[in-house]
Each structure stands twice: as structure tokens, then as C-alpha cells.
Chains A and B, each alone.
Chain A
């Protein structure tokens, strides 16, 4: 019975004028465009230097800063206040203030102070460029074997997510996670519209009056999207490799296993909503609501650990969170399946709960 139903689903998808094209093109476009849109790499930070020391050491620091491609020293000012004016006028992003006596303190006390002030109107950009500058200065102090205390204004938090992505290339961070998003959109939305579509066209009535069992019906809806999910994620791997040279540090099989499990969870969620929705409109709206929350709470764009605890608690109900974790760990750190067992159990839990719910909420009778 199941075979006939799956055959039918594939025929319908194949005959749709737009769906097969979308399924194939969407991962390409999304992976080629989105990493640039969601790019937090900081280029051309405009720096104003207030060098009150004018010593050989301060010169060496400035030369080191000049050597860095992401930092441009555009202005020199005498006072901090004048430098601040440039920031106010949005002609500079960062002030590096070397106080007088910097070199002396450095040689005599082996400890001197330096101020970095960053425009944090765009918080992400600000803290990342401050970190660039800070890294350069600590490099310098390591060479000289003494410490420079960098005073930050405002203070910043160094995020652990850069630990395995030393180049701070945002694409390495975003591409694996974007694959998760693409899988979510295709394998979440399509099933959500599927059952409700049959309700609107009247096909459901003919199915409901047949002896088809609930689990078989739900499986017949789940399996096609499972296979589509495998195709979509494979395209994702290919694009990541061809366009960005990104390949998993860990095993590709680990990624496949997790994407199979994840697809079952997100398609199951789509089917649950489809069971409750009485029209396309309702299904679209409900799905948007859930997917938006699931994506934003999952740590796709922002580090999960920097959310407040209550938000993390909500986010831990998002299967995306676990799969994005897995993708980043396998792609960047090379984690294996044993290290990812907590995520595996969490995703399997989602699959079980969501699909049981899908079976129970499918009503043949009203």
C-alpha cells in the first residue's frame, strides 16, 4: 500500500511546474548568495590614531596595524576629543589612543596602557574590529616579551566560536548552517502544504474513506521529503566545496546520518501543522511563524550561548539548534558521531515526538 502512495507523491511532485526546479535551484542560489549577505567579516575599518607618545614603539605598533588588510589608518589627531568628533561624523570607526609615556612605561615597568575605542552602533562589526586590533597589539607585546594592557571601550566579549576558524572567515561559519536552513525550508514547508492541499482539492475525502492506516499515510508523506532532503543536502555539500572550498573536517557520513534524522524531524513538524490547517493560508502562516522562531532561536546568525538562559531554554526546543551545532562541529572541528551523541539523542527525540504527533493528529473522521 505504501509503495503505491509514495509513487503517487513523486509523480505529483515531478509534474508540478515549479517544485522540481525550485528544489534543485534553491540550494544553489541560497548558498551562493546568502553567505555574502550574512557576512560579518570586517573589512576596511577606518582608524583614527591619537599618538601622544610619538616614540619608536608607538611607531612599531602603528606599522603593525598598517600591515593588516582589514585596518586602515586614515587620520591622525592630537587629542582624543578631536578623534571622537571623527567618529561622531561617521568618518572613522575606531580610535587607537597611545598615551604619552607609553614607551617609557613599557621599558621600565614592562607594562603600559593603550586605549581602543570602537563605534559600536553596529555591535557585531565594532567588537570584531576591536578584536582585530587587540590581536595585533598582543602579538606585538608577545614579541617584546612584556604586557600591554589594552583598555577597551566599551568592553567586549571574545566569543568561543572562532576557536576553530582562526581566519575568522565568516563563510566557514555560515555555509554549514545555511545548509540546515535550506533543508528546513524545503523539507519543512513542502510537507506542510501537502496534506492541506489535498484537503482543499477534496482528495483527502477519498483517502479518508479508504482503509489506509494513519501511520502508513504519514509515512507516505514523510519518505518522499526524506529523499528530497538527501538530494538537497548533497547539492549543498557540492556547492560548499565548489564555491567555497569548504569540506567537512569530519566524516561526510556523520553529516548525512544527521541530515537524514533532521529531515524526518522537520518534515514531521510540517505534517503536524498540515493536519491542523484547514487552508493553505493557515498552513503558510503557521509554518512561517514556527520556522522564523526556530531559525532565529537556533543560533544560526548569533551565537546560541550569548542568548539569555530563558531564551536558550526556548531555543533548545529547536531541532535546528542541534543540527546546526552538528554541522559546525563536523565541518569546522571534525567531530565524530560519538562526540555528537547528545545532539543525536535530541534529534531522535524530536523525530519520535513530532511524528507520533503527526500520526495522532491526522484524523480520518470528524
Chain B
């Protein structure tokens, strides 16, 4: 399997604070890669570097075959991104948000129109087509944000705590959507705080204080740490943290 994300010795410093400390890993095509860590462990910083939103202090990385240092605009054509903070336009309607972002990624007008109808049907959002996004419940917003992030069929989608604050049923549905995307060949790079969700990933890495302390499949990790579940593994590793929550 080819590697769609390759990270080598990536470091990001903010003054004296080392947010990301010399991390290296690979993500394979079509994989669901869980990026775990406590608040302030450096997950979001690392993800923002890979998306071309932030420059690394040192180290190198390739996303979709493009170098993050010189080819970040090419990377941006090939990825989808769902930020921790809801970032669709609240004062636009559901279909208008879809149309806008599809247009930005260069999709044709008629393609957008037909694909929008299919998507709204799949989501069960037909009635909400003309609803302003700010009037949707949180869980629906998150589903919509994910759908918009993969609407242009990116190679990789980056999800930053996509299920934060979402009820268990919607979380379940959300993960079904992630599986569907993965089956279409989209690589999923996801950060989460929910350890039950970590079990759904093909592989996970656990970050503590900017460093990757463990990386393997959930099954392997449980065996390695002789733990019942990932939650236990996480607690064992997170104890090592000397960093205060930021």
C-alpha cells in the first residue's frame, strides 16, 4: 500500500514551547488513522502543519505526494479539512455552503447541483436544504461539515475532533460516514478524545507532550500494554505528561 502521508522529524516551536516534538509516522492510502492525545498534546498543531495552515519549525512531510514546505497549495487541492471550531458559513443555507465550497474546489455547476441532491438524500437533509446553517442542531452541523469536507472527493480528509459535543447516536452515524468515505478510498486522519472511537480506527497514534508515545493498531496496542481497552492504554501513557493543560 502506498503512503499518502509521510512525516519525518516534524517539530513546531512557539518560542520556548515545543508543541510538536520531533514526530515521524506514515499513513497508508484508505486507512483510518486516529490521532490521539490529551488537550494540548500537539494534535491540532501537527494537523494544521500537514494541512498547510502552519509552517513547521523543522522536519519534513509529504501529503498526497506533495512537500508541505513548497507545495502546500497543491496539497490543498487534494485534501478536505474539518476544523475543531465549526467553520461553515452560519448565515448561508445548507445548499449554499455545499455549492460555495464545491465551487472553490473547482467543481462544475451541474455536477454540484446533482451531487448536492444525492448528498442531501443520503443525509436525510432534503427538508433542510434551504435552512440556514446556524439553525441546524450541532450534530447535524458536524455531519454537514464532514460532507462538505469530502464533497470534492479529496485523497485525504483531516478531521479535528469532529464529534466533540455530539450525542452518542449521532456519533455512531458520524463514524458510519467515516467508514463510507474510507471505503471510497479516502484516507481519514482523525483526532478524537473519545477512546471508544479510537477502537474504530485502523491504526492509532497516541501523543503525549508533543511526542508520539505509541503507534499501532488498537488490537496491538492493547496487547502491548496488556490493557482491556484503548482507554486504559491512553491513561497509562497520559500519566507521563508533565505538561499543563493549555
Contact = CB atoms under 8 A, between A and B. Distances in A.
A122 interface: no
A8 B95 CA distance: 12
Contacts of B53: 205, 208-209, 364-366
Q: Which among B74, B96, B104, B132 has the greatest number of chain A C-beta atoms within 10 A? A: B104
A12 B92 contact: yes
B87 A365 contact: no
Interface residues of A, number: 25
Contacts of B89: 8, 12, 203
Interface in A333-366: 364-366
Interface range on chain B (Cβ under 8 Å from partner): 20 to 34
Interface in B64-113: 72-74, 76-77, 79, 81, 83, 85-92, 96, 99-101, 103-106
A21 interface: no
Given A202-B83, A206-B87, A211 B103 contact: no
Given A365-B53, A365-B72, A366-B54, A1 B81 contact: no
A205 B87 contact: yes
A202 B85 contact: yes
A4 interface: yes
B51 interface: yes
Contacts of B73: 211, 213
B51 A209 contact: yes
Interface string A208-221: 11111100000000
B156 to A, nearest CB: 12
A276 to B, nearest CB: 18
A123 interface: no
A207 B100 CA distance: 10
A8 B92 contact: yes
Contacts of A15: 91, 132
B222 interface: no
Contact of B104 (A5, A11, A202, A365): A5
A117 to B, nearest CB: 63
Nearest to B104: A210
A64 B207 CA distance: 94
A54 B54 CA distance: 88
B96 A8 contact: yes
A205 B158 CA distance: 13
A166 interface: no
Interface string A2-24: 01110110011001100000000
B103 A3 contact: yes
Contacts of B132: 15
A3 to B, nearest CB: 7
B107 to A, nearest CB: 10
A205 B96 CA distance: 18
Contacts of A203: 87-89
Contact of A209 (B74, B81, B90): B81
A344 B56 CA distance: 45
Contacts of B88: 203, 206
Interface in B38-60: 51-55
A212 B90 CA distance: 20
Contacts of A211: 73-74, 76-77, 104-106
Contact of B87 (A5, A12, A202, A213): A202
A15 B90 CA distance: 11
A365 B79 contact: no
Given A4-B99, A11-B96, A201-B90, A209 B104 contact: no
Nearest to A213: B73
8 contacts: A1-B104, A11-B91, A202-B85, A205-B83, A206-B81, A209-B52, A365-B53, A366-B54
Q: Which 9 A-B pairs have the closest CB atoms?
A: A4-B103, A206-B87, A202-B85, A209-B81, A211-B77, A211-B76, A202-B87, A205-B83, A210-B104
Interface of B: 51-55, 72-74, 76-77, 79, 81, 83, 85-92, 96, 99-101, 103-106, 132
